[in-house]
């Protein structure tokens, strides 16, 4: 029973908060004289994790996760590629190796490193895994150990994912009382993290805006997966407004030639895809592809006899959401394409 509970920890925080509340741009970017970084360092949660979370904590290491890519479970919270993989693709580097595997595949260190752990936040969450402060500690130690030098950092970009796990823990403990103040503290800590990453020598830092939590399947289930919950998205709008103010201030204080800090507008990119799904070959925009057979199970669950206790849709490529929280590879690809057309990604070049 304990192991079964552990499998749900990486998703638990987001569940709680939910229940409680192209092409032209690619050519331009390629023709642009800006320099493409050679390394990508990643910090955050399950929207960015590519294999750090331990198998005992997550179903992401079980079938059917990874069925589209790489063809087997690999720790990604999707059927295939996630945001990290697409940002790496844009930079024309290999997706950075998970921190947990750094000693097993040292030949991949030259592409950077992924420090993100599913279920974590900028503060501690219900998952006993490294929060973002500790993740940054890992990079700092690698620099001290001379795994990366100043030239490596000068030619790097950092991706920071803050997908809402902090709010899940807060609301379970405190409800909605004092939530606006806590949102401000989350954004303030995020800004401090960005400053710290910059101080280590990373030239460009991209931070994701909070995605529309009100559009995740647990919130849309009450309308048979037809409509997003505008009330739940109020938290998101506050977070993103404060984040925009914080990043603007950082750029005014620190920037010399070009903006050091960039926001990837995941809210607008998610909403654009969800409002125009057919443009991206998405047929099931709000219905999750992989779900448990009952509320006692989730995607990837099996019983004590190893019998599957989940269902998978016929075509993951036509669904935006993979499970109750995370996009499919097709969903992430659509979001990535929208970020390109919005010119967000062009700003991470220098």
Residues forming the active site: 46, 323, 326
- Rounded Cα distance between 21 and 34, Å, is 43
β-partners of residue 41 are: 113, 158
Given a contact cutoff of 8 angstroms between Cβ atoms, the answer to whether 60 and 75 are in contact is yes
Q: What does the block give as tokens for 317? A: 């490529």
- Rounded Cα distance between 300 and 345, Å, is 33
Burial class (CB in 10 A: 0-12, 13-18, 19+), 173: exposed
Given a contact cutoff of 8 angstroms between Cβ atoms, the answer to whether 118 and 164 are in contact is no
The CA radius of gyration of the chain, in Å to the nearest whole number, is: 19
The H or E element that residue 172 is part of is helix 165-174
Q: What does the block give as tokens for 184? A: 């401000």
- Minimal CA–CA distance to 98: which of 48, 148, 161, 160? 48
Residues found in the chain: 350
Phi and psi, residue 13, nearest 5°: -60, -45
- Rounded Cα distance between 273 and 276, Å, is 5
- Rounded Cα distance between 29 and 21, Å, is 40
- Rounded Cα distance between 348 and 327, Å, is 23
- Rounded Cα distance between 324 and 98, Å, is 24
- Rounded Cα distance between 267 and 118, Å, is 20
What totals of helices (H) and strands (E) does the chain contain, helices first? Answer: 11, 8
């Amino acid at each position: 029973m304990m192991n079964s509970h552990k499998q749900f920890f990486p998703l638990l925080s987001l569940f709680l908060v939910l229940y409680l509340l192209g092409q032209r741009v690619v050519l331009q970017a390629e023709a642009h004289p800006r320099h493409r970084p050679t390394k990508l360092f990643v910090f955050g949660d399950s929207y960015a994790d590519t294999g750090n979370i331990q198998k005992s904590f997550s179903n992401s290491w079980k079938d059917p996760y990874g069925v589209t890519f790489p063809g087997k479970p690999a720790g990604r919270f999707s059927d295939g590629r996630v945001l990290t993989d697409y940002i790496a693709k844009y930079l024309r580097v290999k997706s950075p190796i998970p921190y947990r595997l750094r000693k097993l595949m040292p030949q991949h260190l030259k592409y950077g490193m992924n420090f993100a752990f599913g279920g974590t936040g900028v503060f501690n969450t219900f998952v006993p895994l490294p929060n973002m402060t500790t993740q940054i500690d890992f990079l700092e130690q690698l620099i001290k150990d001379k795994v990366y030098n100043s030239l490596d950092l000068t030619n790097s970009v950092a991706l920071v994912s803050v997908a809402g796990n902090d709010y899940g823990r807060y609301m379970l403990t405190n409800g909605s009382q004092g939530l606006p103040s806590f949102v401000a503290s989350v954004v303030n800590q995020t800004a401090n993290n960005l400053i710290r990453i910059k101080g280590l020598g990373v030239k460009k830092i991209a931070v994701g805006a909070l995605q529309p939590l009100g559009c995740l399947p647990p919130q849309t289930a009450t309308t048979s997966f037809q409509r997003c919950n505008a009330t739940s998205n109020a938290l998101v709008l506050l977070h993103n407004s404060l984040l925009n103010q914080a990043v603007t201030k950082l750029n005014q204080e620190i920037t010399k030639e070009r903006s050091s800090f960039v926001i990837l507008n995941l809210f607008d990119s998610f909403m654009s895809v969800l409002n125009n799904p057919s443009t991206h070959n998405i047929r099931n925009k709000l219905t999750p592809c992989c779900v448990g057979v009952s509320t006692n199970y989730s995607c990837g669950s099996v019983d004590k006899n190893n019998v599957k206790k989940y269902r998978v849709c016929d075509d993951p490529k036509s669904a935006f959401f993979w499970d109750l929280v995370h996009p499919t590879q097709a969903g992430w690809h659509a979001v990535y394409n929208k970020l390109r057309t919005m010119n967000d990604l062009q700003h991470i070049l220098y």
